[in-house]
Structure 1
Amino acid sequence: MASSPTPRFVVQTVDARAERRRRVVVAAGLAGCLVAGLLIGWLAGHAGAVPGAVGDHGAARQLAADNEVLRQQVANLTRDNQVGAVAANELKHTLAEREEQLNGLRNDLGFYSRLVGGGDQRQELTVQDVRVSPIAGSHAWNLTVTLTQNARRGADTKGRITLAVEGLRGDKLAVLDAKDLGGTVQAGGLDFSFRYFQQLHTTLALPADFRPTRLRIGVDADGSDAATRTVAWADASQTSGDNHVQQ
């Protein structure tokens, strides 16, 4: 019995549903691969960027620390400068006080030197000191004039001093004499009589619109020619230097 030949073509029935499922599976697989690739790329990019971000953050912290150190240094320097300024002002004040004390000692030394001057040489009558001080609540001033002479002279010196004040009245120069000064100034002046030294006291009343600049003192001692000395008002309001009147 002869065998039947193998057929060259086989006819199969196509299942449409199975074909669609296969296509869906393939498409899903491709989509998954694409998503996985994108995810891997994104992670790689961020993994490379993380070290740089960490480095920037560290640099910012270092800059902040350096800035704080500089601020503290500036604050310390500022305090040191303030302390130095206070110390300098205190030193200037102390030096001014010492200078004032030295000036007072020099005046005292001059006073006693003339008072007990050595030798037989005749010493001059001296306007040793002139001081003015304001009287509160008025235009009046207290005036003190100190006169000295050598104690070795052994005789009293008598005479009279006259006073005048030079200054500005408005925008013009003016001179006030005894009759214009008021206060306790006598028209003829202030009499003196002493062997060693004498202080003369009086009060000057100045007009409200008058600004004094100099005090003029005339000295007329018995047996000698009259002499005039001037003292700046600013100096007299502190302590004037020696003003000599030769007899």
Structure 2
Amino acid sequence: MSAPAPSRFRVVPRDAAVRRRGASLLFGLAWAGSLVAMWFAASYTAAPRLAKADANRVQAERELAIVRGELRNLRQRESTLTRSDQISRAANAEVQDALAERDEEIAALRADVAFYERLVGSTSQRKGLSVHVAEFAPEAGGTWRYQIMLTQTLNRGAISQGQMRFAVEGVREGKLAAVQWDELHQQRSAPGQTYSFRYFQQLDGNVMLPPGFTPQRVKVTLNGGDAAVEQAFDWKTATAAGGK
């Protein structure tokens, strides 16, 4: 005879089951309480730190804004100083150029004074209106640049006024010829060059010599209200003085 099969059910006393459920409930409540306690503890501990960190962040943002403002001011100041330095350099260059021009003017005035002193010095002979020097120099375009110095030392209070013309004499096609003022300027009825001075004056200009013409001398004519002067200069001497 076989043994009876064991039963799937076990009889548990009611009091033991109740105690087991109560223990589980108490364990769950204790676990939840511990979580709540831990949350309160963490909040109590972290809240001051979070508040401090937030205050530090706000302070850092304020300081960053101040630093950025100072940086903008410094950049603006640097730009202003750079511009000011450029302006100062440009102004200084202009001053240097102006001083160089003044130095040239002073040197020219000193040369004029020295020239005048030689003209009216105690040992120099006083002369009326005359051509002190005539100089000619060739230019790249085939023209001739002239500089003619007029002087007057006889009457220091008088003002000499009038017109200056000159003609260049030489040889053309094997014959003596003279190139007059109009032909030199390639203009009909070309006006003379006006002069007006008390002691001396330099007249400048350009003329064109015709092709095939060999100059030998230049004849300068001065026509004023109270004087008429005609002087001739050797062309080689005039061109040597003019830098040829």
Q: Could you state the TM-score of these two structures normalised by the residue count of structure 1?
A: 0.46
Q: Could you state the TM-score of these two structures normalised by the residue count of structure 2?
A: 0.46
